[in-house]
Structures are given as structure tokens and as C-alpha cells.
Amino acid sequence: MVKIAQYAVLLKCGKRPEALKLLLEQEQFLRENKMTFELLEVLQLIKQHYEVDGNAVMAKEYSLLYFTTKDEFINKSRLGKMDEAKLNIELEQTREKIQEMSYRQRLQTIVLWGVVIIALLVIAFLTLAYINSRRSQHKNQLLYERALAMLNAEEGKKAATPAVVRQDGPSEGDLALLKKITQVMETSDEVNNEGFGVSRLAELVGSNAKAVSRIINDNKHCNFNTLLNDYRVKEACRRLLDKEQYGGLTIEAIGRSLGFKSRSNFASVFRGIIGINPSAFQKMSGPPSPAE
């Protein structure tokens, strides 16, 4: 029937009120034209529609109306010639089709909401990632600027006139040894050798390892390895900034040229002192070199 097909289409489109109105109009038309057989099918559909909507009162009313009409229909002589089993099968098939359409409609609604929720989660994730990225960039920028300020301060100390030694400060001998240590650490290429240690430093300044370690601890307030890494990392910063002379070297090559065993070792020490990785520092200083 055309109206039944229209009803199924309206259901699929989610227009249940319009679909029910169509059935009620069809019921009135069939009653007026005494089309009892078709009326039974429509009554069954109306009952099922109310059941799905949760309207138990109307569903019960149409269920009673359906059986009353069916009984009247059976009492007619022409119904006796029909196969009642076929009628029931056709009615059951119609009911199953309506249930299937209703199920598909609910499934489509669930899928739609699932897509919406996933989209919202993706948007939230991307927004959070963007915010974290911006925060990380800002933090790295501050650390980069602090490193530049530290390097400038170091250059200023080298150019400044030596301060007057206080009477209660280090002895002249300690100051002389400290000066030699500082000069070696700042000017000797051996500082960047992988095997450079406190014993070799002591040889270069004409002293012994114990005395050199004491001078470093008393005046630099750190041990030899910490001091060595500090000098090497500061030199690494200078080389990463000097694109003209060192722009053709990779980060690993720069690290190994300063005595670090591997890129990971270099990155770990660099990050511990500067706060960011060498690659991030280099990126902030300008475009990366072709070697990278």
C-alpha cells in the first residue's frame, strides 16, 4: 500500500508524529470505504506505533479495536474463503519490517552521537596539545634567553678588571693556582678531549690533583666534573650560535668535539645545565643547518 510505504519513509526520517497522523488518516479512509482487510493492517501498525512511543493506553485501545475488527471480518463470508494463515504471515512480516526500520533508526542515532562525541574529544585533545605546546615554547624561550644572558655575563667577567683580594680571602698561592686553572679551562683545547680529567688539569697548572680539586671545591663550590661540564656546555652554546663557523656540523658532532661520548650524553648534560635540549637551543638561535 502506498500509505504504508509513506509511513515507513516518515519513520526512517525520524518524523514519528507525522507518520502516526498519516496512519490515523488512512484508518478513517478505510473505515469509510469499508476496506476491512486493509484496515486490520493499519490498526496493527497504529497499535505498534503507540507501543514504541510508550503510550500503553492507546496501544491497548487499538489492540482491542484490532481484535474486534478482526472478529467482524472473520464473520463475513468472504473472509472464510481466504487463507487466515496467509493473513497472519503477512501481518507478521509487516510488523517485522516496521521493527527493523525502528531498530535501524535507533542505530543511526547512536552512531551519529558517537561521531559527535569522538569529534568533540579530538577537538579537546588538539586544543590541549596546542596549549601545552605554546607553554613549552614560552618556557624554552625563557631558558634560551637565560642562557644567552649567562654567556654575556661570562664574557663580561673575562673583560673586567680583577677585583681586589680581601684580607680574609684565599691565599696568594691559591689565587695564583685558581688563575691558572681558569686560564686552562678557558683556553686549552685539551679541555675538550674525551679523556680529560683532574689529573691532566693538575699537570697543566703544575700542581697535583688533590690541590686542584680543593681549589675548585673552595672557590667554584663544585667538583671538577661539574666545572668541566659547565665549561663544555657554555662552549657548546657558543658553537650552536655561531652558524658561520659551526653551521655545517651536526649536534652530535659538536658534542663529540667537546668531549661528550654520545649525542644522548651531550643532550643530557646540556639539558641539566641550560634547561632545554641542544636541538631546541639551536632552533631558537636561527634556521637549522643543512647537516641537521
Tens of pLDDT, residue by residue over 44-78, are: 889 898 999 899 999 899 999 899 888 887 776 55
Residue 7: pLDDT over 70: yes
Given this model, what pLDDT does residue 167 score?
46
Model confidence at 157, pLDDT cuts 50, 70, 90, reads: low
186-214 pLDDT tens trace? 998 999 998 899 999 999 999 999 999 99
Say which DSSP state 260 is in: -
Given this model, what pLDDT does residue 199 score?
94
Q: Is residue 32 part of a domain?
A: yes
Could you give the CA distance from residue 148 to residue 143 in angstroms, rounded to a whole number?
9
Average pLDDT of span 253-266: 92
Structurally, the chain folds into a number of domains equal to: 3
End-to-end CA distance of the chain: 74
Q: Are residues 85 and 174 in the same domain?
A: no
Q: Are residues 49 and 107 in the same domain?
A: yes
The more confident residue out of 44 and 166 is 44
Q: Is residue 122 part of a domain?
A: no
Average pLDDT of span 36-50: 88
Q: Are residues 97 and 53 in the same domain?
A: yes
Say which DSSP state 223 is in: -
Q: Are residues 236 and 217 in the same domain?
A: no
The more confident residue out of 202 and 80 is 202
Model confidence at 287, pLDDT cuts 50, 70, 90, reads: low
Given this model, what pLDDT does residue 111 score?
87
Cell of 153: 655575563
Given this model, what pLDDT does residue 162 score?
46
Model confidence at 150, pLDDT cuts 50, 70, 90, reads: low
CA distances from 93 to 12, 41, 88 (A): 18, 11, 9
Q: 281 and 254 in contact (C-beta within 8 Å)?
A: no
**Domain harbouring 31, CATH code:** 1.25.40
Alpha helices by DSSP H, the chain: 2-12, 16-32, 36-53, 56-75, 77-80, 84-159, 172-187, 198-205, 209-220, 224-241, 243-246, 251-257, 263-274, 278-285
What global pTM score does this model have?
0.49
Quote the radius of gyration of the chain (alpha carbons, Å).
45
Model confidence at 136, pLDDT cuts 50, 70, 90, reads: low
Longest dimension (CA), the chain: 134
Model confidence at 124, pLDDT cuts 50, 70, 90, reads: confident
**Mean pLDDT (the chain, rounded):** 83
Of the candidates 7, 6, 13, 1, the one whose C-alpha atom is nearest the C-alpha of residue 104 is 13
Q: Are residues 14 and 68 in the same domain?
A: yes
Q: What angle do CA 154, 159, 163 make, to 5 degrees?
A: 90
Q: Are residues 8 and 61 in the same domain?
A: yes
Given this model, what pLDDT does residue 159 score?
53
Residue 160: pLDDT over 60: no
Alpha helices by DSSP H, 76-171: 77-80, 84-159
Range of the domain at 264: 231-292
Could you give the CA distance from residue 235 to residue 255 in angstroms, rounded to a whole number?
10
In one letter, which amino acid is 230?
D
Residue 279: pLDDT over 80: yes
CA distances from 127 to 110, 120, 134 (A): 26, 10, 11
Could you give the CA distance from residue 233 to residue 60 in angstroms, rounded to a whole number?
86
Cell of 145: 634567553
Given this model, what pLDDT does residue 84 score?
63
Q: Is residue 140 part of a domain?
A: no
Q: Is residue 121 part of a domain?
A: no
Model confidence at 161, pLDDT cuts 50, 70, 90, reads: very low
Residue 267: pLDDT over 70: yes
